[in-house]
Amino acid sequence: MQLQQTKRPGGGFTESWMALGKIWAEITIPTGRVAVAADQLTAEITAEIRVRYRGDIVAGMRIVHGATTYLVGASLPDNDHTMLRLLCSNVVNP
């Protein structure tokens, strides 16, 4: 999913997520991680998603699998540009 901004007549923008298509992927079992940020505990669940190489998947996009939504933090192609490794974290589906 990609963030799309639509201009409002009164000024400003409305943000919404737009589906770009369906892809086959291998999702590794997410692992939990707890970190202290600004004196608060924050839980982050990370996952690694492997897909065939596509040049249009970049950091900041979202991937939806069932009821789980992942935010792409990094898009790492292999040397041959045949596979793409996506480092992701769980986010709330808007």
Tens of pLDDT, residue by residue over 47-72, are 889 999 988 888 889 888 888 888 89
47 sits in which H/E element: strand 40-52
User: How confident is the prediction for the chain on average, in pLDDT?
Assistant: 82
Measured CA distances, 33 to 18, 36, 45, 86 (Å): 29, 10, 6, 18
Indicate yes or no: pTM above 0.85.
no
